[in-house]
A and B are shown apart, each in its own frame.
Chain A
Amino acid sequence: MNEYLKKVQSIVWKDIIIELRMKEMLNTMLIFSILVILISSFAFGTFNQEMTQSIAPGVLWIAFTFAGMLGLGRSFISEKDRGCLQGMMLAPTDWSAIYIGKTIANLIFMSIMEILTLIVFVVLFNFGQIITSPLKFVLITIVGTFGFVSVGTLLSAVSVNTKTREMLLPVLLFPVIVPIIIGAVEATLSIITANGQFWGWVRILVAYDIIFFTVSALSFNYVIEG
Chain B
Amino acid sequence: MEKEKALGILSLIAISTLIVISFLIKSPFFQQNGDIYRMLFFHVPLAWIAYLAFFIVMISSIFYLKKEDRKYDNYAAASAEIGVIFAALTLITGSIWARAEWGVWWRWDPRLTTTLVTWIIYVAYLTLRGSLSEERKARLSAVYGIIAFISVPISYLSITISLHPQPITGGGGISSTIANGLIVGVIAYTILYTYILRIRKNTFESHDEVQMIEKNRRRTNTE
* A residues adjacent to B (C-beta < 8 A): 151, 154-155, 158, 161-164, 168, 171-172, 175-179, 182-183, 186, 197, 200-201, 204, 207-208, 211-212, 215-216, 219, 222-223, 225-226
Contact = CB atoms under 8 A, between A and B. Distances in A.
B124 interface: yes
Contacts of A212: 147, 150-151
B154 A161 contact: no
Contact of B121 (A154, A161, A175, A207): A175
14 contacts: A151-B147, A154-B143, A155-B144, A161-B132, A162-B131, A163-B133, A171-B124, A177-B151, A197-B161, A200-B161, A219-B143, A222-B65, A223-B139, A226-B139
A186 B150 contact: no
Nearest to B129: A162
Contacts of B147: 151, 154-155, 176, 212, 215-216, 219
Given A178-B151, A216-B147, A162 B132 contact: yes
B150 A182 contact: no
Contacts of A168: 127-128, 131
Contacts of A211: 150, 154
B117 interface: yes
A-B pairs, 4 with minimum CB distance? A226-B139, A162-B131, A179-B158, A175-B121
Contacts of B10: none
Nearest to B132: A162
A161 B133 contact: yes
B184 to A, nearest CB: 33
Nearest to A171: B124
A215 B117 contact: no
Contacts of B150: 211-212, 215
A178 B155 contact: yes
A156 to B, nearest CB: 12
Given A158-B140, A225-B139, A226-B136, A178 B127 contact: no
Contacts of A216: 147
A226 B64 CA distance: 13
Interface of B: 65, 117, 120-121, 124, 127-128, 131-133, 135-136, 139-140, 142-144, 146-148, 150-151, 154-155, 157-159, 161-162
B154 A179 contact: yes
B128 A172 contact: yes
B140 A179 contact: no
A68 B159 CA distance: 23
- The main secondary structure of chain A at its interface with chain B is helix
B57 to A, nearest CB: 14
A175 B140 contact: no
A87 to B, nearest CB: 19
A47 to B, nearest CB: 22
Contacts of A223: 139-140, 143
B139 A222 contact: yes
Contacts of A155: 144, 147
Nearest to B118: A175
A179 B146 contact: no
Given A215-B146, A219-B65, A222-B143, A172 B124 contact: yes
A131 to B, nearest CB: 20
B137 to A, nearest CB: 9
Contacts of A161: 132-133, 136, 140
A161 B133 CA distance: 8
B67 to A, nearest CB: 13
Contacts of A172: 124, 128, 144
Contacts of A164: 131
B154 A207 contact: yes
A212 B146 CA distance: 11
B149 to A, nearest CB: 10
Nearest to A200: B161
B161 A176 contact: no
A222 B162 contact: no
A164 B161 CA distance: 36
